[in-house]
Amino acid sequence: MKNKRYCLKKTASLAYGQRKTLFIGIIFSITSLILAGCGGNGATEYALQIDPSQYSGREVPVHAKVTLAENLQNTPVEELAVTLQSEDGGYKNVPGQIIEGENGQHELWWILPESGNTNPSTWTATVTQDDSGNRSSFQWEDTPGQHLDLLYDGKRVFRYDYALDDRFEKGKTLTARNRSFYEIYDLEGENKITNDGAEGTEYPHHRGIMIGARRVGFEGAELSFWGMEDLTVQRHIEFRKNVAGPVLAHTEALIQWNDSTGRTIIEEVRQARIFKQAAPNILVLDFTSDLKAVAGPVTIDGDPDHGGVQFRAHNDVAAGAPGSKKATYHSVQNIDSLTRETTADHDLPWVAMDFGLNNKTYSVLQMDHPENPGAMWSAYRDYGRFGPFFQDELDENETLTVQYRFWISESEMPDREVLSSMYESYTNPVDVQVK
């Protein structure tokens, strides 16, 4: 299995290397960040220089590491107000957000309205203290033991569903509350566009944005962490981080993958980072999962239809409810039906799906990260379930990290060139130098 993993990774490296040659000259980077000084009223200004490039995109999340001025260093990040404007005046009052990054460093995040040869190359960020709470912002609302909701200006955007049943019965596991998963709402914040696994729905074990594997090998046994047929569970233990602001929200949770006896086989740290987008786009979601074998060696396996990180559309799509439309698929290589049988070159950088719901069209782009194990995609189910499947073998206390980006919009699917540009902005993060 280990050799298989390395073979997959080598194949992935070659595939991604070939793709990168197609994108030469379009890497977007911030090459320098200059502390310009302090303005009046305790404001701190940062000058940000963005190198012009061939990369063309819109609504691109970007960030820079910053050192806060002395008068702001003891201010909670939630009370730091940030606005940005381009030097040419084309963009003003663009919201920014300061968060605490790794090792206590601070990061300045904002959504770059456009990038490319003609985009504004110089920006000024102004940081002030403001504890009024009057800024438009993400907000977390937890219903203990049930779910964590994310709202923006009072409208639901995202839900982390972590409710768990008290007991399970063999053969009746598909509709049980036995896993943690993410759900997405429409632009109005009123209706889910993902499946929540309700009783009586089609394929209820496919829920929202989920991670799992049908064949998890442990101590000679083979356990299902997909349909949970073996009375296995993904149990939410605790939140490690919840961050919210005008640009992004971040949640980090500890989840245990337990067998039917309650023994923890895998300990997972799952993170979601949600970026604000302008309508008709709903959000950009960065999904990260750290999977650690904590009780002995573990084999993660299954098949493309029953494993990996997948998105499932609302059950109305499967049921053919009025106002719904079956899913169609799109990929970078014009291969639009990716099944277990069509195995040629499934190691793709991205796959997209569109579907109809409540008389509206929704488009979902899922992007695979080049550091993930090589993957095969399942992207052909007309009820709207797709995603990449990976395999791996972990020694005790070894951790596998997988990461993906989702772009979700209440709109028609863009053309492949635009989708590839969004993939490029994900896999080539900005290069920031602080001077």
3-class secondary structure, 70: helix
Q: Are 398 and 293 in contact (CB under 8 A)?
A: yes
Q: How far is CA 229 from the centre of its chain?
A: 27
The whole-number pLDDT of residue 435 equals: 55
Q: Could you give the CA distance from residue 324 to residue 268 in angstroms, rounded to a whole number? A: 35
Least confident segment among 99-113, 201-215, 369-383, 419-433: 419-433
pLDDT at 363 over 80: yes
Query: Are the C-beta atoms of residues 405 and 285 closer than 8 Å to each other?
Result: yes
CA–CA separation, 301 and 207 (whole Å):
19
Question: Are the C-beta atoms of 55 and 27 separated by less than 8 Å?
Answer: yes
What span, in angstroms and rounded, lies between the C-alpha atoms of 260 and 239? 24
The pLDDT-based confidence of 21 (bands split at 50, 70, 90) is: very low
Question: Quick check: 35 pLDDT over 60?
Answer: no
Amino acid 39: pLDDT:
46
Nearest to 27 by CA among 47, 4, 56, 65: 56
pLDDT (tens digit, 9 = 90+) per residue, 295-347?
Answer: 999 999 999 999 999 999 999 999 999 999 999 999 876 666 676 565 545 78
Pair 162, 179: CB distance under 8 Å: no
Q: Which 3 state secondary structure label does DSSP give 15?
A: helix
Alpha carbon distance 101, 104 (integer Å): 6
Domain 30-129 matching CATH 1.10.8: the answer reads: no
Confidence check: pLDDT of 393 > 50 = yes
Residues above pLDDT 70, as percent of the chain: 84
Mean pLDDT over 265-292 rounds to: 98
**pLDDT tens track for 58-85:** 899 999 889 998 889 889 999 999 999 9
Task: Check whether 40 has a pLDDT greater than 70.
Answer: no
Q: Around Cβ 115, how many Cβ atoms within 10 Å?
A: 24
The answer to whether residues 228 and 194 touch, using CB atoms and an 8 Å cutoff, is: no
CB 302 within 8 Å of CB 273 = no
In this prediction, residue 116 has a pLDDT band, given cuts at 50, 70 and 90, of low
Tell me how far apart the alpha carbons of residues 388 and 405 are, in angstroms, rounded to a whole number: 12
What is the longest distance spanned by two Cα atoms in the chain? 68
pLDDT of residue 7: 37
**Over the stretch 171-181, which tens digit does the pLDDT of each residue have?**
888 889 999 99
Q: What band does 434 get if pLDDT is binned at 50, 70 and 90?
A: very low
Q: How confident is the model at residue 433 (pLDDT cuts 50, 70, 90)?
A: low
Q: How far apart are the first and last CA of the chain?
A: 46
Integer Cα distance of 97 and 180 in angstroms: 28
- Average pLDDT over the chain reads 86
Q: Which one of 2.40.160, 2.70.98, 1.10.3470, 2.40.128 gives the CATH number of domain 138-427?
A: 2.70.98
Domain spans in the chain, listed from the N-terminal domain onward = 30-129, 138-427
**Whether pLDDT at 354 is above 90:** yes
Task: Please compute the mean of the pLDDT values over residues 95-124 and round it to a whole number.
Answer: 85
Which pLDDT score is estimated for 104? 81
353 membership: H or E segment, kind and range: strand 350-357
